[in-house]
Structure 1
């Protein structure tokens, strides 16, 4: 067994310790290098994660802003839609009212057409009656004017009660003492085509009764004959 006091042994031990120390030092350096690499890798990972997180945060903020913009746009569209629906409802209501007014106008027009047709028939009837009365007047004129000295005058009514064209029947040969003395009855036509006695000169108390009989019989010749008789009766009193 070699003694520890052997110088060779001491060198061998020193060399062995140096090798062990170098191995440990190398291992330590490797650990340090590995740690540095891990630290750098960790820093890069943290930096990458931080960048990714910041990017994701910005993207989330943009997404949130986009969502808020969409919400506001949706609210605006909903408000606009409600306004349009209200406007449509008003238009529909207005159209319905116009349809009702249209129906009312159509009914009024139909009623006016019916009234116009009735008025037209009435005018035709009145024109026919007026033509008949004109023929009666012409016959009466021939009878009374040629044989009894009757004069027929056309006058224009000027008062509120007597408007339009009127006829005056002037009777002569009534008073034996004065054959040229004039006895006058004035008459016209009402809106319905019936005769209207306006006045007589001199006044006859029975004139309303004679007018009523004329309305009933529509016999103008008989009316004039009766008026003449009343004038003669009054002149002889």
Structure 2
């Protein structure tokens, strides 16, 4: 062991202390360098993280704006779709209404056709009936004109009661004192084909009864014969 009185001891101690001090300084410098590097790296990390966060925020804002735009676009599309559905519903209602109107028109046309057919059948029936009446008139004309001096005239009656073509049956050889004195009955045919007595000259009180019988029997010769009898009864009391 060196002696404390060794003159080199102090130098060696100082050298050892300086060496230790240098080591400490070097270690401290290493620590400072490491700390500085770590601090720099931390700052760079924070800067990078901040930039990433800012970029993320901007991206999120853009994404949010895009989402909001999509939402607005979706709302507009929903509104347009609803309007389209409403319009389509109105159009369908109009189509259904027109279909109903079409069916109603078709039904009315069918009813008109049926009415027209019935009217034609009625007219044909009336024509046949009028032909029968015309034959009866012809027969009555021959019988009364040839044997009883009956004259048949066609006249136009414009009275308010009856309008149209009428027939006048002029009887003669009724009055014994005046064989040429005319006794007249005027009649026509209604729309339903029945006979209608318009007037008689002179007036016969029983004429409504005779007309009623004519409507029931449709026998014109018998009616004219009864009218002649009534004229004779009135002219020859």
**TM-score class, shorter:** 0.7 to 0.9
- How high is the TM-score relative to the length of structure 1? 0.83
Query: In structure 2, what is the equivalent of residue 205 of structure 1?
Result: 205
> What are the residue-to-residue correspondences of 1:70-81 with 2, within 5 Å?
70-81=70-81
CA distance in 2, matches of 1:152, 1:4: 194
Query: In structure 1, what is the equivalent of residue 42 of structure 2?
Result: 42
CA distance in 2, matches of 1:55, 1:228: 128
Aligned length: 236
CA distance in 1, matches of 2:55, 2:5: 69
CA distance in 2, matches of 1:60, 1:109: 71
SS of the residue corresponding to residue 166 of structure 2 reads strand
Query: In structure 2, what is the equivalent of residue 62 of structure 1?
Result: 62
Say which is worse superposed, 173-182 or 225-234, in terms of deviation: 173-182
Contact 1:4 1:10 in 2 (8 A): no
Q: Give the Å deviation of 1:216.
A: 2.2
Say which is worse superposed, 77-86 or 28-37, in terms of deviation: 77-86
CA distance in 2, matches of 1:114, 1:156: 34
Query: In structure 1, what is the equivalent of residue 126 of structure 2?
Result: 126
- Structure 2 unaligned spans of 5+: none
CA distance in 1, matches of 2:4, 2:108: 148
Q: Give the Å deviation of 1:94.
A: 4.5
CA distance in 2, matches of 1:2, 1:226: 195
Q: Give the Å deviation of 1:83.
A: 4.2
Q: Is residue 2:135 matched to residue 1:135? A: yes
- Structure 1 unaligned spans of 5+: none
Contact 1:157 1:166 in 2 (8 A): yes
Q: Give the Å deviation of 1:100.
A: 4.5
Query: In structure 1, what is the equivalent of residue 156 of structure 2?
Result: 156
CA distance in 1, matches of 2:16, 2:216: 169
CA distance in 2, matches of 1:4, 1:55: 73
Q: Is residue 2:97 matched to residue 1:114? A: no
> What are the residue-to-residue correspondences of 1:164-175 with 2, within 5 Å?
164-175=164-175
Q: Give the Å deviation of 1:220.
A: 1.6
SS of the residue corresponding to residue 199 of structure 2 reads strand
- How high is the TM-score relative to the length of structure 2? 0.83
CA distance in 2, matches of 1:159, 1:40: 130
Contact 1:195 1:215 in 2 (8 A): yes
SS of the residue corresponding to residue 66 of structure 2 reads helix
SS of the residue corresponding to residue 204 of structure 1 reads coil
**TM-align CA RMSD:** 2.8
Query: In structure 1, what is the equivalent of residue 232 of structure 2?
Result: 232
